[in-house]
Chains A and B, each alone.
Chain A
Amino acid sequence: MFRFERRWLLRIFDAIYPGGTAEGLRLGAADVPIEGLLEDIAKRAPFDFVLGLRAGAWVVTLFGPLLTGRFRRFAGLSVPERGEVLEALAHSRLYLLREIPMLLKMVASLGYLGVPQVQRELGVPSVDREPPEWARSKS
């Protein structure tokens, strides 16, 4: 996975879980060290899964805005507009397009909700005192 693909993915994750938009949830995906998770996935996860993740990043970043009639790059959209792009994809008539935001949301969730700070904000009784190893290496 190229560095720019990881950057794209982090931008998408920020759109999935933006910080400070809900009462009681101060942190967003951009506030937690998800990059370590992406590095680990890129290095260790099954090849076809990583390929799907990368393809998802390309589709959302390059073509996503067009699906909502916006002739701009994904990075040029506001965070709420990026969320709308993902929502539009999730309701696409094409199955494979619908699956892309689900896949991205799953990976974003593994990272964002895998750190104890976010779990504490949600009131989840975390049994882990330390952050996961993939988060420690980047914190």
Chain B
Amino acid sequence: MSGSTQSLADVAGKSVVEDSADVVIIGSGAAGATAARVLTAAGLDVVVIEEGHAIPRDGFRQDAYSAFKGLWRDFGFQAARGRVLMPILQGRAVGGTTVINGAIMHRLPEKVHAAWERDGAIDDLLSYPGLEATFDQLDRELSVGPAPEAVLGQNNALMRAGVAGIGAKGNLILRNVKDCEGSARCGQGCPNGRKQSMHLTYIPQAIAAGARVYAACRVSKVEIRGGKAVAVLGEFRDPTGDARGPRIRVVAKRAVLLAASAIQTPVLLMKSGVRGGQVGRRFQSHPGTSVMGVFDDKVNMFFGATQGYETTHFWDERMKFESVSVPPEIAATRLPGFGADLQARLARVGHVAQWGVQVRAEAHGRVRPGITGGASVSYDLTNADVARYRLGVKRLVEMMFAAGASEVWPGVHGLPTRLTSPDQARALDTLDDDPRRFHFIAAHLFGTAAMHRDPRAGVVRPDGRCHAVDGLYVVDSSLFPTNLGVNPQHTICAIAWKIAERIAQ
């Protein structure tokens, strides 16, 4: 039996849409889609509700603004508030953030897993050997492999030289892509349908097995009766326009799965009456910042794998370094200067490389429902975190020069705009730990409905079940007890897979 995708146009004229399923999943990203794939394969009837649009495979050929508007939450302008305003990147489309991410697949680090185990956050369901088997299966199904040399591009190749030049070990990034053409536009949604995002993989699989996907449909709350999640309530509405459609109520016969991200999941819990304790607290992230370097030879970061090279050599110091290609609109924003100076730099943008450092930040923030709807995130890096950025940027500068850069633009307030020697990066050692010196972007969000055996220490049990409500599960990175220090897509899929398997039993 084949399912369907229904959006605003399909339900026009109805006053209410009513449906029922064994399992209702809120969110269609890495967690929700994976759960849908597992549950439908086990023969369960599944409904997936997604706030964003369903974009056709050939619907991604667009400029950065149009992509942000159509695919990113709040146009990419969502920000955490603290001493700095930190943009938070999240996708909002069928496929979730997998539509706009860099296609990086990293297994859960064993040291992180061991810490979770030691802390009593997980049990046998998430044993490492069990997760390894799931990672292997995900690799096969999502075409995970190293970024191919043929479409590596110079931004990635130069980083390989830079990493080697400072004596560190690096590697081609493992990515979920098939026959990547190196368009360097992952953030705008792959224009060639090569990235194996959820809207091209597990969502179609789930639909083929009978799942019904409601797109452009915003969930307002989970209906809880007698301590049990019984239905999901929402409304069809165009996420980028004014059009509104009917209300929706989907009865959940067995379970409701929250897979709406570490920001929206706790907000939905709170709106549904699950408040207090750890809900919305312990928000964690991997904020990143980047450095640009100018090379005599052409770099052309607009060709190649968007993110094709990395080093986890400094992982124990809570840092990971990656190449980051961005579209010209974003690259230009990061170039120093204004007016004629900026135009002169822009004219040579083809000679610019960009690499970033993401830190496994110690900081904990908090998510609450926003006053005007949506969510409010408060998040402030610790001084120790900022010290890591000072060191991280210094290493990026050293890598750039080791790879042959003629000048480097560190983008740090208090440093010269333009560095011409790695020695100048030593000034970073003497700067204070003020986060306002840097420009950060927060990606990889965790911890706001953490799992733990003890209901005082977590919101959900180690199998994703909510401590306070029967039949209500969290399957996204909200339940991660800590951040990982690596890109979380693979781990999100694997944990959602294991929880879905348990539900299907």
Contact = CB atoms under 8 A, between A and B. Distances in A.
A119 B327 CA distance: 10
Q: Which of B65, B332, B344, B439 has the most CB of A within 10 A?
A: B65
A102 B333 contact: yes
A30 interface: no
B314 interface: no
A112 B346 CA distance: 12
Given A44-B241, A109-B332, A132 B65 contact: yes
A71 interface: no
Contact of A98 (B63, B241, B413): B413
A89 to B, nearest CB: 9
Contacts of B303: 125
B69 interface: yes
A25 to B, nearest CB: 5
B165 interface: no
A111 interface: yes
Contacts of A40: 65, 69
B84 interface: yes
A125 B65 contact: no
B339 A46 contact: no
A25 B367 CA distance: 44
B66 A132 contact: yes
B401 interface: no
A67 to B, nearest CB: 14
Chain A interface main SS type:
helix
A74 B343 CA distance: 20
A114 interface: yes
B78 A46 contact: yes
Given A45-B77, A113-B332, A16 B342 contact: yes
Given A114-B64, A132-B62, A18 B343 contact: yes
Given A45-B77, A49-B77, A122-B350, A95 B69 contact: no
Contacts of B75: 41, 44-46, 49
Nearest to B439: A102
Interface residues of A, number: 51
B330 interface: yes
A87 B191 CA distance: 36
A54 interface: no
A79 B68 CA distance: 30
B379 interface: no
Interface string A28-51: 100000000100110011110100
A127 B338 contact: no
Contacts of B383: none
Contacts, number: 127
B178 interface: no
Nearest to A132: B63
B246 to A, nearest CB: 23
B328 interface: yes
A36 B341 CA distance: 26
A31 B343 CA distance: 14
Contacts of A21: 339-340, 343-344
B446 interface: no
Contacts of A87: 337-339, 341
A66 B86 CA distance: 29
A105 B346 contact: no
A35 to B, nearest CB: 13
Nearest to B340: A21
A15 interface: yes
A99 B346 CA distance: 20
Given A79-B339, A109-B329, A124 B66 contact: no
Contact of A83 (B183, B328, B339, B349): B339
A65 interface: no
A133 B66 contact: yes
A82 B341 CA distance: 13
19 contacts: A16-B342, A22-B340, A22-B346, A40-B69, A45-B75, A47-B372, A82-B339, A86-B338, A95-B436, A102-B333, A105-B338, A109-B330, A110-B65, A111-B65, A115-B63, A119-B328, A127-B191, A128-B61, A132-B65
Given A80-B339, A82-B339, 15 more contacts: A16-B342, A18-B340, A22-B344, A23-B347, A25-B347, A28-B343, A37-B65, A87-B339, A98-B436, A106-B333, A113-B327, A114-B65, A125-B303, A127-B185, A128-B62
Interface of A: 15-18, 21-25, 28, 37, 40-41, 44-47, 49, 79-80, 82-84, 86-87, 90-91, 95, 98-99, 101-102, 105-106, 109-115, 119, 122-125, 127-128, 132-134
The list of the 5 closest CB pairs from A to B, nearest first, reads A83-B339, A114-B63, A22-B343, A21-B340, A49-B77
